[in-house]
């Protein structure tokens, strides 16, 4: 249905056309209202059976196995710990985290994607507003008098000319009325997508902080292992020197000398391997900070102790706290909005097009005349046949919503799995750490006894060698388990979605950027030229 109003000085009433259009719209609405969409059958949130509490930590202690007393309700309702970076009590770690938040290129990338998602909301929402365009035209032509009269003009040799100037302007208006709110649904989808991207940025931020913390503790661990490897080499060299002295005195055989020298070389090879592990971990850490991966970093190699426990809160609250789960939920809601818009693409569209224009001989007089030409067109278009394309697009959008729901369920289940695993692992690692510390004490006593008995001629060198290996292996395991406890504690905070800082943050004004305003050189001659808003 097309309605046109062409006006010069006279004006045609539009009330009759508007009434007819209104009746047509109402009748079509009543017909289409009976067609319900199966998009409404999708659930609002993930349908997952969530327990009232997380599972209690397992224990290898026989007496603890019978103790299945659940945690109290007050304990379960404690909030998840925020500011967990500072809870480690390592000022160097806090400074490194802040540096990574400002300089990590992956976080820059995530921040740029968030800015683009925010701009996309404006781009999508622009379709709800009328589009206005101003078109200006101008022409200048000359015509000879002879050409105008069809022959030569007497008296001037036919050389007189007439200059014709024309300046015009037209204001074009186009607007699709959001009768079925399909444009609003698309703007809603874009807004939800921007919110989802904001949650993904938070997830990227949280992941970066966790990776920096893990890398930092790996650097310290590898430095401690390097120092231990040096101590191990020194110990084996001292033992080898002792054996050689006894051999020269005729108290030991040459076989013990060969065995001790072999062990020294093995420890030297192990020291070189430990040094490479330390340097490579340090370079990986520098890369996370956004710095050149050199090995120039002075620090005190000391791992903090893991103390206390982390409150996990209620399992149900995990779905509203973890940024990756929240992002998945928002993307699911956005896909539903897109599916609704795709369905409404099959409904009639109401568009308005108009123009106001005039042509004059001077620019200042344009749009000031009573003889302006106005043209308005109101269109009501209804899709009749598209070979099933519109229906297939609707089905595609519904399938996308189902896929987004499946992703939401999977993300939620993965989140619960990570929490359960990290909580269980911490309890077991603590038991393992206690046993390893006791093993170190026993190994120290065993080595001292083995050396005394070897000096007395009661034990052979193999006993000393086994005791040395047992001691240093236990000491190395103790360092690794302390690091594993720290790594798992970071994993708990990451799995629970707790904030790494206690302070409230404003993402809108706190997004990092690789380009600083004061660092940009003005090299473009036209950089100060005004840019029109579109």
Q: What is the mean pLDDT of the chain?
A: 82
DSSP 8-state assignment for residue 515: S
Give the pLDDT mean for 165-184: 85
Q: Among candidates 343, 351, 443, which has minimal Cα distance to 393?
A: 343
Q: Which of 13-27, 185-199, 301-315, 496-510 has the lowest mean pLDDT?
A: 13-27
- Region 292-297: what's the mean pLDDT? 93
This prediction's pTM: 0.80
pLDDT of 56 reads 78
pLDDT tens digits for 64-82? Answer: 444 443 443 344 445 677 8
Q: Is the pLDDT of residue 173 over 80?
A: yes
pLDDT over threshold 60, residue 294: yes
How many whole angstroms from its chain centre is CA 14? 52
In this prediction, residue 156 carries a pLDDT of 53
CA distances from 388 to 274, 385, 394 (A): 66, 7, 10
Classify residue 39: in a domain, yes or no: no
Rounded distance between C-alpha atoms, residue 340 and residue 124, angstroms: 15
Residue 44 within any structural domain of the chain: no
- Per-residue pLDDT, averaged over 229-256, amounts to 88
| pLDDT at res. 267 | 93
Rounded CA gap, 172 and 373, in Å? 12
Average pLDDT for 5-31: 47
Q: Is 186 exposed, middle or buried (0-12, 13-18, 19+ CB in 10 A)?
A: buried
Question: Which of 168, 146, 287 shows the shortest CA–CA distance to 216?
Answer: 287
pLDDT at residue 532, as a whole number: 44
| Three-state DSSP state, 111 | helix
Query: How confident is residue 416, by pLDDT bands cut at 50, 70 and 90?
Result: very high
Nearest to 313 by CA among 82, 503, 487, 500: 82
* Whether the Cβ atoms of residue 349 and residue 197 lie closer than 8 Å to each other: no
**Residues belonging to the chain:** 534
Instruction: Report CA-CA distances (Å) from 240 to 260, 261, 267, 300.
Output: 5, 6, 12, 32
Mean pLDDT along residues 228-251 = 89
pLDDT recorded at residue 167: 74
532: enclosing H helix or E strand: none
Query: Which of these ranges, 1-10, 88-97, 257-266, has the smallest mean pLDDT?
Result: 1-10
Q: Which long-range CB contacts under 8 A does 454-460 form with residues at least 24 apart?
A: 457/251, 460/256
* Rg of the chain (C-alpha set): 39
pLDDT mean over 102-114: 93
Q: What is the pLDDT of residue 65?
A: 46
Q: Are 222 and 278 in contact (CB under 8 A)?
A: yes
Q: Rounded distance, CA 382 to CA 180, Å? A: 13
For position 34, what pLDDT does the model report? Answer: 39
Highest mean pLDDT among 66-75, 311-320, 504-513: 311-320
Report the range of poorest mean pLDDT among 84-88, 170-174, 374-378, 529-533.
529-533
For residues 116-138, give the mean pLDDT: 89
For residue 489, being part of any structural domain is answered with yes
The pLDDT of residue 239 is 87
pLDDT at 279 over 70: yes
User: What per-residue confidence (pLDDT) applies to 111?
Assistant: 92
Domain-located, residue 211: yes
Can you give the CATH number for the domain in which 318 is found?
1.20.1600.10
Domain assignment present for residue 104? The answer is yes
- Over 80: is that where the pLDDT of 230 sits? yes
**Residue 375 φ/ψ, nearest 5 degrees:** -140, 120
- The per-residue pLDDT for 487 is 97
Helices 105-125 & 182-248, crossing angle to 10 degrees?
A: 170
* 146-166 confidence digits (pLDDT tens): 555 555 555 555 556 666 667
Q: What is the DSSP string of 373-401?
A: EEEEEEEEE-----TTHHHHHHHHHHHHH
Using alpha carbons, select from 145, 172, 167, 169 the residue that is nearest to residue 157: 145
- Work out the average pLDDT over 214-224: 97
Q: What is the pLDDT of residue 24?
A: 52
Q: Which residues contact 399 (CB under 8 A, 6 or more apart)?
A: none
Distance CA 440, CA 479 (A): 11
Determine the Cα–Cα distance for residues 93 and 216; give it in Å rounded to an integer: 7
Residue 138's nearest CA partner among 360, 413, 424 is: 360
Whether 109 is covered by a domain: the verdict is yes
pLDDT band at residue 373 under the 50/70/90 scheme: low
Total tally of structural domains belonging to the chain:
1
The per-residue pLDDT for range 20-63, each reduced to its tens digit, is 455 455 545 544 543 456 788 888 888 888 888 888 766 655 54
Contact in structure between 257 and 194 (CB atoms under 8 Å): no
Q: H-helix or E-strand containing 226? A: helix 182-248
Q: Residue 505 is part of which domain span?
A: 71-129+180-345+388-513
Question: Is residue 14 domain-resident?
Answer: no
Q: Is position 65 within any domain?
A: no
pLDDT, residue 336, reads 95
Alpha helices per DSSP H over 311-460: 323-344, 389-455
Residue 233 exposed, middle or buried by CB count within 10 Å (0-12, 13-18, 19+): buried
82 membership: H or E segment, kind and range: none
């Amino acid at each position: 249905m097309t309605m046109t109003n062409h006006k010069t000085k006279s004006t045609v009433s539009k009330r009759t056309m508007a009434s007819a259009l209104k009746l047509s719209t109402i009748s079509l609405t009543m017909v289409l209202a009976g067609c319900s969409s199966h998009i409404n059958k999708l659930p609002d949130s993930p349908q997952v059976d969530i327990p009232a509490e997380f599972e209690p930590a397992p224990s290898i202690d026989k007496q603890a196995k019978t103790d299945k007393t659940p945690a109290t309700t007050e304990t379960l309702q404690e909030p998840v710990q925020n500011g967990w970076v500072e809870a480690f009590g390592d000022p160097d770690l806090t400074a490194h985290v802040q540096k990574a938040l400002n300089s990590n290129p992956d976080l820059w990338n995530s921040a740029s994607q968030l800015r683009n998602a925010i701009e996309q909301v404006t781009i999508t929402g622009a379709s709800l507003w009328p589009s206005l365009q101003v078109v200006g035209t101008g022409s200048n032509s000359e015509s000879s008098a002879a050409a105008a009269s069809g022959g030569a003009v007497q008296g001037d040799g036919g050389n007189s000319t007439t200059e014709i100037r024309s300046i015009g302007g037209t204001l074009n208006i186009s607007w699709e009325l959001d009768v079925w709110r399909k444009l609003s649904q698309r703007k809603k989808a874009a807004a939800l997508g921007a919110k989802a991207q904001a949650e993904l940025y938070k997830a990227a931020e949280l992941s970066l902080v966790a990776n920096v913390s893990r890398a930092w503790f790996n650097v310290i661990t590898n430095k401690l292992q390097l120092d231990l490897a040096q101590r191990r080499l020194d110990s084996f060299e001292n033992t080898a020197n002792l054996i050689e002295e006894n051999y020269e005195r005729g108290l030991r055989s040459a076989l013990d000398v060969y065995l001790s020298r072999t062990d020294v070389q093995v420890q030297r090879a192990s020291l070189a391997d430990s040094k490479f592990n330390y340097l490579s971990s340090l370079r990986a850490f520098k890369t996370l900070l956004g710095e050149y991966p050199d090995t120039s970093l002075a620090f005190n190699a000391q791992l903090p102790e893991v103390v206390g426990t982390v409150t996990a809160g209620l399992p149900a609250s995990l779905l509203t706290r973890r940024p990756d789960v929240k992002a998945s939920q928002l993307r699911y809601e956005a896909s539903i909005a897109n599916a609704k818009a795709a369905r409404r693409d099959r409904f009639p569209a109401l568009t308005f097009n108009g123009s106001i224009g005039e042509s004059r001989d001077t620019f200042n007089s344009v749009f000031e005349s009573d003889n302006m030409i106005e043209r308005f067109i109101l269109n009501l278009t209804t899709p009749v046949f598209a070979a099933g394309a519109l229906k297939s697009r609707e089905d595609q959008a519904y399938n996308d919503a189902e896929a987004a729901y499946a992703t939401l369920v999977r993300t939620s289940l993965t989140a619960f799995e990570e929490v359960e695993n990290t909580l269980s692992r911490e309890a077991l690692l603590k038991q393992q750490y206690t046993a390893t510390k006791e093993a170190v004490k026993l190994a120290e006593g065993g080595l001292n006894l083995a050396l005394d008995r070897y000096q007395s001629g009661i034990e052979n060198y193999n006993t000393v060698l086994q005791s040395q290996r047992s001691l240093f292996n236990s000491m190395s395991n103790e360092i690794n388990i302390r690091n594993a406890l720290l790594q798992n504690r970071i994993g708990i905070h990451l799995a629970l979605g707790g904030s790494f800082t206690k302070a409230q943050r404003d993402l809108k004004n706190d997004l990092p950027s690789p380009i600083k305003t004061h660092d940009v050189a003005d090299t473009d001659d036209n950089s100060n030229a005004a840019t029109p808003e579109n």
